[in-house]
Chain A
Amino acid sequence: MLNPTLLDGQKFQITIQRLCRQLIENHNDFSNSVIIGIQPRGIYLAKRIAEELRKILPGKTILQGDLDITFYRDDFRRRETPLVPNQTRIDFIVEGKKVILMDDVLWTGRTIRATMDAMMAFGRPEKMELLVLVDRRYSRHIPVTADYVGIPVDSIASQKVVVSWKETDGEDKVVLLSDVK
């Protein structure tokens, strides 16, 4: 079965650029805003966005961190083995800041719920927003919605959305895989 590419090449780049412009619209020069990538796959998006923002806003400080949410997940003891945690790297104060959480794919929303819990351990942000590259619509298990969406996708549960990054996979691409067990 064909696995359609949803986003690649120039279109991928334009999407990233658009997300950056939308962020600037709400966060101006990012003096009171920080970017948090959700481990493991959201950190590449967060790094890319931060990198692009630094190009668009030269001289401005764009703070970006990585957040691991393993210990806050709701499926502990419900899967066969515990998940191995990733690194958390937040070397700035979150208290009172506008936090933009970033992940590659928004699907059930459970990761985002865990992320909001995990974020609170670092203090009380003024505001939390969510940016995702791919929004798998109509598949939420909990009421979560993204503030910024790269591309909306209508998919069924047996399908899988895979985001590849130039830095780690050699190519910027979003692919919809069918019948993944």
Chain B
Amino acid sequence: MDTLSTKHLLGIKDLNKRDIELIFETADTFKDVLNRPIKKVPSLRDVTIANIFFENSTRTRLSFELAQKRLSADTINFAASSSSVSKGETLIDTVNNILAMKVDMVVMRHPYAGAGIFLSKHIKAQIVNAGDGAHEHPTQALLDSFSIREKYGEVAGKKIVIVGDILHSRVALSNILCLKQLGAEVMVCGPTTLIPKYIGSLGVKVEHDLRKALNWCDVANMLRIQLERQDIKYFPSLREYTMLYGLNKQILDSLDKEITVMHPGPINRGVEITSDVADSKQSIILDQVENGVAIRMAVLYLLAGQTQ
């Protein structure tokens, strides 16, 4: 019987190709469910899930919560900013207190890399990583690849460029791992200061010229400049960054072929991408958001279905 090779979803690094394909096949059927008059199935009716967010989020938290509700799970939400964490409680204590209320799964976002992995070694519940620092954001990568698969039929052989703040991006790392696992060619593009030094060891190409990168690719995934994670200045000004790495209609129209534009959100309109590109028919940004619910339903369903 088909099942995931892992008990938790901490990162794409733990998934093999079959795992990813299984998640996609399951998400296909959930996407179908989401288009029915009644968009709810009773599968997870005896499962309780805690969404623990130590960092801000709109899309991911709403998407997870909606996925849980569509699966009939009971959910509790926790935001660190309005909790006892500000009174000095440790991560393990916080989570164990939540688990004492009989919670089966934890969906966690945390500003520190490896927080989910750490937690998985100390608590009993299953953990889904909803982003840990600049490390991984597995469900985002899965929904990105799922959206590419939906648009092109398959991911293998496709050329994807990830543009922007690769250094601080968990989306970039998870995307690279997921796309490589599925057989796509991956390139990263950005200013030298925002490209990690040894990124080439992941088997990706590096390009510093946006136009060359766009001419090479089928899909461009535009990332946000993560100013909140930048402790020093990595480039002179946002204006200069936009001039060199911002995607606008003019560049897009000057390319030889029609490429697909993606963005994990939140968008800084006018910085990494202009409004007319974000809202153009080449953009699949809102499809990504729609697919996010189906992908998260698939992940929760497959993990919750494993008997401990």
Report which A residues bind B (CB closer than 8 A): 68, 70-73, 76-88, 117, 120-123
Q: How far is the CA of A73 from the CA of B29 in the complex (A)?
A: 15
Give the residues in chain A near B84, CB-CB below 8 Å. none
Closest 4 CB pairs of A and B: A82-B305, A71-B41, A81-B3, A121-B38
Interface residues in B1-49 (C-beta closer than 8 Å to A)? 1-3, 22, 25-26, 29, 32-33, 36-38, 40-44, 46-47
B1 lies within 8 A of A81 (CB): yes
- Evaluate contact between A117 and B37: CB separation under 8 angstroms: no
Residues on B with C-beta less than 8 A from A68 are: 29
A82 smallest CB distance to B (angstroms): 3
- Which chain B residues lie closer than 8 Å to A73 at the CB level? 43
Whether A82 and B40, one on each chain, are in contact in the complex, defined by CB atoms closer than 8 angstroms, is: no
Q: Which residues of B sit under 8 angstroms from A72, Cβ to Cβ?
A: 41-43
Cα of A117 to Cα of B36 in the assembled complex, Å = 14
- B305 in complex: contacting residue of A81, A86, A88, A117, CB < 8 Å: A81
A82 and B304 alpha carbons, distance in the complex (Å): 8
Which residues does B use to contact A, with CB under 8 Å?
1-3, 22, 25-26, 29, 32-33, 36-38, 40-44, 46-47, 71, 301-302, 304-307
**Known interface pairs A81-B2, A81-B306, A84-B25; A120-B42 also in contact (CB < 8 Å):** no
10 more A-B residue pairs beyond the given contacts A71-B43, A80-B1, with a C-beta to C-beta distance below 8 A:
A70-B29, A71-B41, A76-B44, A77-B47, A78-B307, A79-B307, A81-B3, A82-B301, A85-B26, A122-B38
The one of A80, A84, A122 that contacts B37, using a Cβ cutoff of 8 Å: A122
Q: Is the CB of B26 within 8 A of A84?
A: yes
- Contact partners of A76 in chain B: CB under 8 A: 43-44, 304-305
Query: A121-B38, A121-B40 are known contacts. Are A82 and B47 too (CB-CB below 8 A)?
Result: no
* Contact B37 A77, beta carbon cutoff 8 Å: no
CA distance A73 to B32 in the complex (A): 17
Residues of A within 8 A of B305 (CB): 76-77, 81-83
CA distance A78 to B45 in the complex (A): 13
Cα-based distance from A16 to B2 in the complex (angstroms): 34
Inter-subunit contact B1/A117 (CB<8 Å): no
Which B residues lie within 8 Å of A85 (CB)? 26, 29
Name which residue of chain B comes closest to A78, CB basis.
B307
In this complex, what residue of A is CB-closest to B40? A121
Q: Which residues of A contact B301 (CB under 8 A)?
A: 71, 82
Could you list 19 examples of A-B contacts with CB < 8 Å?
A: A71-B33, A71-B41, A71-B43, A72-B43, A76-B43, A76-B44, A77-B46, A79-B307, A81-B3, A81-B305, A81-B307, A82-B302, A82-B305, A84-B1, A84-B22, A84-B25, A87-B32, A121-B40, A122-B37
Which residues of chain B are within 8 angstroms of A77 by Cβ–Cβ distance?
46-47, 304-305, 307
Q: Specify the chain A residue showing the minimal Cβ separation from B43.
A: A71
CB-defined contacts of A88 to chain B, threshold 8 Å: 29, 32
Question: Do the beta carbons of B22 and A121 come within 8 Å of each other?
Answer: no
Q: Which residue of A lies closest to B3 (CB)?
A: A81
A122 to B37 alpha-carbon distance, docked (Å): 6
User: Which one of B33, B38, B302 lies within 8 Å of A120 (CB-CB)?
Assistant: B38
